[in-house]
Amino acid sequence: MSDAKWIMQLQAVLDCPVREHKLPIEDWLLLSNEQGRHQNDGLQKPKTNAVTIGDYVSGAEGAIWFALEQEADQVHVLEVNRQPFSEMELRLIGWTASQILADRSKHYEGMTESERYARELGTWIDEQLDASEPKLLLPDRLISRGRLFSSMIPFLLVCEQSEPNGESFGELEKLLRTFLAEEVLIIPLKDQEWLILGPASLINDAQSGERDEEDEESLEESLASIAFGLHEMLESEWIGECHLAVSHPLSPANSIVGTTALLRETVHLGRAFHIGSNIHLPWLLHLERLLNTIPEPHRIKFVEQALKRTDAFLDPEILTTLETFFSLDCNVSETAKKLYIHRNTLLYRLDKLKQETELDVRQFRDAVLVKIILLLYKVTKRA
């Protein structure tokens, strides 16, 4: 059971606020020793200066603090805000915390510290994404163990095949540190899904290549370039077919949940509306995000009503022509060049489509309508 789940369950049982935070170890030991001298407090008297999981002291404003974990010069504590507790209740809560944390330690046996931290962080993110009221800020115990205040580039990797074995985390970590940078952070999420945080300095590296001033890359172009390179490396050297989404740099401590949700939605939209594409960029999927909110029956009805012949787009040649035409901003000359056909051949195809559908994609209004129909048709024809 994850920390978040058992703490939420404990909060429900006790019917009072329960939260985590951390204290300097000096403060914890001072309170422990001071309160241990007062027998009437009814609190547990510490035997040594070491922190034992499940120990408890009276905290600020009547709260009770239970020790969860000692890390360097800090103690992670569970704060329970309800009074009064009997001595037996205090001992029972402390014992419960120690048993659950002992079980968690067994679950992570054999893992390196970096993998253990990454899996704890991934479990917490998954829980927030599944929750009806997710927490957007990371808890202190996870922030203090990571490098989560630096600006980092978030990638979401979704593999087509299951994680082959427990050693894949180490293999992926080694591969990404070689390709991206040493400070990369890999976070396993659900099966076949990984959140990768790379340093923001990658953008400067991508933009520092030799090029004319007029050809300077935008932030989005640099991110897309990094994503294409990363995807190519992953497919060829590690996992085979996979999908990759990337977003703007973020400070993980403040926005990792919202950004992960955005990347997960981006991969979903990319797979639904752009079959055959494995790189998905959220800033290019605004229209798809809007269309995805339309109920399936309404999509089908719209496509049927918009076309006189519903099989107009089944012609692979027309489909390829339109996708290329739209990807090049409706530029006839560039589209003909890209398709290796004569300009007049392209115009003939567009005229043919106009005759069959009464939609002229060289006109803005019809182009927008055809673009929407094309996106919806690709989704509804698989329904």
**Would you list the domain boundaries of the chain?**
5-107, 113-283, 294-381
Instruction: Report yes or no: 25 and 70 within 8 Å, Cβ to Cβ.
Output: yes
The secondary structure element, H or E, covering residue 306 is helix 296-306
d(CA 93, CA 81): 13
When pLDDT is averaged across residues 153-163 and rounded to a whole number, the result is 84
Instruction: Give the 3-state DSSP-derived string for 119-150, with helices as H, strands as E and coil as C.
Output: HHHHHHHHHHHHCCCCCCCCCHHHHCCCCCCC
d(CA 354, CA 8): 60
When pLDDT is averaged across residues 89-110 and rounded to a whole number, the result is 77
What is the distance of C-alpha 282 from the center of its chain?
Answer: 13
When pLDDT is averaged across residues 361-373 and rounded to a whole number, the result is 90
Report residue 207: phi and psi, to 5°.
-90, -5
Distances (CA, A) of 263 to 167, 169, 233, 270: 25, 20, 20, 10
Q: Name the residue with tokens 């606020």.
A: 17
Instruction: Using the predicted structure, report yes or no on whether residue 78 has a pLDDT greater than 60.
Output: yes
Instruction: Using the predicted structure, report yes or no on whether residue 293 has a pLDDT greater than 50.
Output: yes
When pLDDT is averaged across residues 208-223 and rounded to a whole number, the result is 74
For residues 37 and 271, the model is more confident at 271
For residues 125 and 40, the model is more confident at 125
Q: Return the pLDDT at 282.
A: 95
For residues 336 and 11, the model is more confident at 336
Contacting residues for 101 by C-beta, under 8 A, at least 6 apart: 53, 68, 69
3-state secondary structure of 219: helix
Q: Return the pLDDT at 383.
A: 47
| Predicted TM-score of the model (pTM) | 0.72
d(CA 91, CA 85): 10
When pLDDT is averaged across residues 273-295 and rounded to a whole number, the result is 92
Helix, strand and coil percent figures for the chain, each rounded to 5: 55, 15, 30
Q: Mean pLDDT check: name the lowest of 142-151, 250-259, 266-275.
A: 142-151
Instruction: Using the predicted structure, report yes or no on whether residue 310 has a pLDDT greater than 80.
Output: no
Q: Taking the domain 113-283, which CATH number applies? A: 3.30.70
Report residue 280: phi and psi, to 5°.
-125, 125
**Amino acid at position 119, single letter:** R
Q: Return the pLDDT at 162.
A: 65
Q: Return the pLDDT at 48.
A: 57
For residues 329 and 76, the model is more confident at 329
Nearest to 196 by CA among 256, 113, 239: 256
Q: Report strand pairing: 242-246 vs 279-280.
A: parallel
When pLDDT is averaged across residues 81-110 and rounded to a whole number, the result is 77
Q: Mean pLDDT check: name the lowest of 158-172, 175-189, 365-379.
A: 158-172
Report residue 302: phi and psi, to 5°.
-65, -45
Q: Return the pLDDT at 73.
A: 77
d(CA 55, CA 90): 9
Report the mean per-residue pLDDT for the chain.
82
Token pair for residue 244?
């990759």
For residues 348 and 356, the model is more confident at 348
Token pair for residue 270?
């990319």
Q: Which CATH architecture has domain 294-381?
A: Orthogonal Bundle (1.10)
Q: Return the pLDDT at 240.
A: 78
Instruction: Using the predicted structure, report yes or no on whether residue 1 has a pLDDT greater than 60.
Output: no
What is the distance of C-alpha 163 from the center of its chain?
Answer: 17
Q: Return the pLDDT at 31.
A: 81
pLDDT digits (tens, 9 = 90+) for 320-341: 899 899 989 999 999 999 999 9
Instruction: Using the predicted structure, report yes or no on whether residue 15 has a pLDDT greater than 90.
Output: no
Instruction: Using the predicted structure, report yes or no on whether residue 39 has a pLDDT greater than 60.
Output: no
Instruction: Using the predicted structure, report yes or no on whether residue 304 has a pLDDT greater than 60.
Output: yes
d(CA 99, CA 368): 61
d(CA 19, CA 77): 8
d(CA 267, CA 263): 6
pLDDT digits (tens, 9 = 90+) for 128-155: 888 877 777 777 767 766 667 788 999 9
What is the distance of C-alpha 243 from the center of its chain?
Answer: 13
Q: Return the pLDDT at 145.
A: 63
d(CA 233, CA 176): 9
Contacting residues for 3 by C-beta, under 8 A, at least 6 apart: 20, 104, 120, 124, 139, 141
The listed range with the strongest mean pLDDT (75-84, 92-101, 162-171, 343-352) is 343-352
**Amino acid at position 101, single letter:** L
